[in-house]
Amino acid sequence: MSHTRHPATGPLLGLTILDLTRLLPGPLGTMLMADMGADVIKIEDPQAPDYVRSFPPYVNGESANYLAYNRSKRSIFLDYRTPEGRNQFLHLVKSADVVVEQFRPGYLDQLGIGYEAARPVNPRIIYVSVTGFGQTGPYAHLAGHDLNYSALAGVLGLTGEGPDFTGEPGPPVIPGVQLADIAGGSYGCVMATLAALYARERTGEGQQVDVSMTDAVMPLLSVAYASFAGGQSPERGSMPLSGGLPNYGVYPCSDGKYAALGTLEPKFWQKFCGLVGKPDWLGFLLPASPAQLADFKQQIQSLFLERSRDEWTQFGLENDMLITPVNTLADLETDPHLMARQMILTQEHPVAGLFRTVGVPLKFSGTPAQPAWPAPEPGEDTNDILGLSSETDR
């Protein structure tokens, strides 16, 4: 099937990105930019396509993971390890703005399609290189995954339950989402691309940007490391915003579900204590010991067990009380606020059929961003792109 398709709206309209990435970090980052209007061309080796295509679960034979972070892109098969494929890739570079790649440092240079090979073809080209540990340093060439990067960066060491009655914190807990992959890799990819494009507007020159997922996840430590640099020793579950305050935590409700209490400021805590008839709780803000913190939390937990999660949610809404439901994934699809923000969308894929996916997180008043089409079939746009590339050379 031959057809030409391009994004129709979004702040990045007119931007062309060659996407060599696989799995999660790079593909999600390039998808976010595709939703914002960039023409993202997903390039896969026909002998070794994106591994995520084979990851379960499947929807009518299509990987749900592939569908989730490859929408709004065009897809071509290109064996860039052969002389012909290398030449075709560099030909595409002539009319591209950005290349996003996720290989180990130096791999693309060995193939003759790295930044140094592309720069003579297009001095304005930007290479965004996303890796676990960066292009330099003693770990640069090592393999890794999200857990490794979060562990090395110190994020994992701060994630878990706080001290028990003995004063000892619980073990590190693996987060429920991929912090380093997404906050470090995907968002880092978008940030690097946009910053390099702005620099190119001033200098007229492209450049390579080194995005290390380990480095890029470390700003998540900003609050904790500020305390550490100031002479304190933050521990798992004991910092004010991660379990150290009884008025800022998660509590079970009468229906077995959970609610998040975020009454951080004294004025909100004072208001909460008044509304629930507990004026003696005003002194709970600064527990003197782990035992006292556990006692305060137990008293608040007993209160929350008197009502269901939805009742506490309504109480929070009616009184502007910083109480929100701890939603399950199923809850997201009925939450009125998330629905109003279009954060769960449904697309119709030609093979998978109707498929639900996370929406576009950024809202633009003048250049709205939106998914252009579902994730493409493997190599679906190969003939179209390779046949038209010579007509769009700069």
Please tell me the predicted confidence (pLDDT) of residue 11: 98
Find the domain containing 280 and state its range: 258-325
Backbone φ and ψ of 151, nearest 5°: -70, -50
Band (pLDDT 50/70/90 cuts) for residue 152 is: very high
> Within this chain, do residues 75 and 143 fall inside the same structural domain, yes or no?
yes
**What are the residues whose beta carbons fall under 8 Å from the beta carbon of 155, sequence distance 6 or more?**
179, 180, 217, 218, 220, 221
pLDDT in tens, 249-264: 999 999 999 999 999 9
Q: Is the preceding peptide bond at 57 cis, omega within 30 degrees of 0?
A: yes
Q: Is residue 2 part of a domain?
A: no
Residue 350: which H helix or E strand, with range?
Answer: none
- Between residues 155 and 392, the one the model is more confident about: 155
> Within this chain, do residues 161 and 299 fall inside the same structural domain, yes or no?
no
**Chosen domain end from 298, 325, 352:** 325
> Within this chain, do residues 293 and 347 fall inside the same structural domain, yes or no?
no
Q: Is residue 265 part of a domain?
A: yes
Q: Is residue 248 part of a domain?
A: no
> Within this chain, do residues 367 and 276 fall inside the same structural domain, yes or no?
no
Q: Is residue 359 part of a domain?
A: yes
Separation of alpha carbons 302 and 320, rounded Å: 22
- Between residues 391 and 362, the one the model is more confident about: 362
Please tell me the predicted confidence (pLDDT) of residue 390: 43
Q: Is residue 372 part of a domain?
A: yes
- Helices and strands, number each (H, E), in the chain: 15, 13
> Within this chain, do residues 164 and 310 fall inside the same structural domain, yes or no?
no
DSSP per residue, 185-227 = IIHHHHHHHHHHHHHHHHHS---EEEEEHHHHHGGGGHHHHHH
Indicate which residues carry an active-site annotation. Answer: 181
> Within this chain, do residues 269 and 383 fall inside the same structural domain, yes or no?
no
pLDDT in tens, 153-206: 999 999 998 776 666 778 999 999 999 999 999 999 999 999 999 999 999 999
Separation of alpha carbons 166 and 296, rounded Å: 16
> Within this chain, do residues 213 and 290 fall inside the same structural domain, yes or no?
no
Decide if 250 contacts 261 (C-beta within 8 A): yes
Q: Is residue 280 part of a domain?
A: yes
> Within this chain, do residues 24 and 136 fall inside the same structural domain, yes or no?
yes
**Chosen domain end from 294, 325, 356:** 325
**Chosen domain end from 267, 293, 325:** 325
Please tell me the predicted confidence (pLDDT) of residue 205: 97
> Within this chain, do residues 152 and 48 fall inside the same structural domain, yes or no?
yes
Mean pLDDT of 25-42: 98
pLDDT in tens, 352-367: 999 999 999 999 999 9
Tally of structural domains, the chain? 2
Separation of alpha carbons 394 and 383, rounded Å: 20
> Within this chain, do residues 215 and 142 fall inside the same structural domain, yes or no?
yes
Q: Is the pTM of this model over 0.85?
A: yes
> Within this chain, do residues 275 and 357 fall inside the same structural domain, yes or no?
no
CATH number, residue 351: 3.40.50.10540
In 232-269, which positions are buried (b, 16+ CB within 10 angstroms) versus exposed (e)?
eebbbbbbeebbbbbbbbebebeeebbbbbbbeeeebb
Band (pLDDT 50/70/90 cuts) for residue 287 is: confident
Decide if 153 contacts 214 (C-beta within 8 A): yes
Please tell me the predicted confidence (pLDDT) of residue 286: 83
Separation of alpha carbons 221 and 3, rounded Å: 47
Please tell me the predicted confidence (pLDDT) of residue 389: 47
Q: Is residue 40 part of a domain?
A: yes
Mean pLDDT of 22-44: 97
Whether residue 246 is predicted with pLDDT greater than 70 in this model: the reply is yes
